[in-house]
Amino acid sequence: MATVNRLHALDAVRATALLLGIVLHACMSFLPAMRDIGFPVVDDSSSEALNALFLWIHMFRMPLFFLMAGFFARLMVQRRGVPAFARDRGLRILRPLVLGWMAIVPLTGGILYAVARQEHKPLFHPNIPPGSALEFPLAHLWFLYLLLLVYLGFMALRWCCLRLLAMSGRMLATLRAVDTCVYVLVAFPLGVFVLAAPLALALYHYEWWWASIGIPTPDYSLLPNQPALIGYGLAFTMGWLMQRQPGLMLTQARLWLVYLALGIALTAECVAIAGTAMAAVIADPTQRMIYALCYCAASWCWIFAMTGAAVRFLPRENPRVRYLADASYWMYLVHLPIVFAVQALVMHWPLHWSLKFALVLGLALALPLLSYQYMVRHTWLGAMLNGRRRHESEPALSAQ
């Protein structure tokens, strides 16, 4: 039962990553840089404080989600096998991606188009790097597309590695060595710098990197950028390997304060180097490398601090937390047109940004939650997104 409760804690972490995405998007119209990049929904009352919140959430949110995705993916493969896993992902990842792209993305684009017309602004074009191949508007559903690519790539790589190890006769020795490396990376806080190195190098060499954004959002193309593939692929792989050692969750629970303190220190160093402006760039090569390493290491610190705190402070299943975990997927899928519509409604109101931000965020959370309860939870949509209803003692396998 203790393991079951820890799984519910991690499912709550996955839900937190999705819900923080709603907070992130609710900030956007209040960020000073949005006017400079030509975004149509720009509030008259901007906020430097929300710059800092935006930076912090962006630092760890999606890597945390992909770590949880890797953890629960291995759990499902071990329990149900690869064919059942593939069918489940097709139902709960591919189908929502297709349906969402057909319904939610056009609605979101239509709202932005209408606001641009009303404000007499040119049509908004995302900051797409020159020469991008296979351009395609994925909007906020990019994470589902990338997750499918990661599933395919990882499962193919896993199949090849297992076959090669089986032929070499070194299967057990290699897996023990991998487990030892993963344990060291998690149990010793300085391991975050080792985990940070691959992505830090990718960001350092990525020409169109905005420092406070971290991993460039791959929402504009069917061919994800290199930092996104490295960062999210590594997070997924780490989650998969951590699931081999359930005891690591208890290690994280013991060290969560250490990771929290280190994460705060590294985040402060990032702010000292580049500030909090969303579109900040770093020209000096040395400062750019230091920032990239600190940023990526801070990301891992926040990930381990949050997962450790969840295991530490959610010792047993909480019905309210479990309900939000179930609802979070739907809420994230449908929130963006609501966010942009409410932001457009209040953008010229003569009120302080804090009041308008609270209204935007409140409606962006409340309306999807109400629609989940009365239109989704007990329908075919609920079955598609959350799977079959579970018995109270059965751990959630729903992390997307």
First to last CA, the chain: 23
Q: Is the pLDDT of residue 308 over 80?
A: yes
Q: Is the pLDDT of residue 349 over 50?
A: yes
Distance of alpha carbon 78 from alpha carbon 85, whole angstroms:
9
In a domain, 99, yes or no: yes
Distance of alpha carbon 120 from alpha carbon 89, whole angstroms:
43
In a domain, 96, yes or no: yes
Distance of alpha carbon 336 from alpha carbon 187, whole angstroms:
38
pLDDT recorded at residue 265: 98
pLDDT digits (tens, 9 = 90+) for 378-388: 999 999 998 75
- In Å, the largest CA–CA distance within the chain is 71
Q: Is the pLDDT of residue 5 over 60?
A: no
Q: Is the pLDDT of residue 391 over 50?
A: no
Query: How far, rounded to the nearest angstrom, does the alpha carbon of residue 374 sit from its chain's CA centroid?
Result: 27
Distance of alpha carbon 85 from alpha carbon 100, whole angstroms:
21
pLDDT digits (tens, 9 = 90+) for 131-159: 677 788 999 999 999 999 999 999 999 99
Domain that residue 251 falls in: 2-386
In a domain, 393, yes or no: no
Residue 81: left if φ>0, alpha if ψ -120 to 50, beta else—which one?
left
In a domain, 399, yes or no: no
Crossing angle of the two packed helices 2-27 and 285-313, in degrees rounded to 10: 130
- 87, 119 contact by CB (below 8 A): no
What's this model's pTM, rounded to 2 decimal places? Answer: 0.93
In a domain, 354, yes or no: yes
pLDDT digits (tens, 9 = 90+) for 236-288: 999 999 999 988 999 999 999 999 999 999 999 999 999 988 878 899 999 99
Distance of alpha carbon 280 from alpha carbon 274, whole angstroms:
7
High-pLDDT (> 70) share of the chain, %? 94
pLDDT recorded at residue 120: 86
Q: Is the pLDDT of residue 293 over 60?
A: yes
- β-bridge mates for residue 261, sequence order: none
In a domain, 151, yes or no: yes
Mean local confidence (pLDDT), 315-322: 87
In a domain, 397, yes or no: no
Name the domain count of the chain. 1
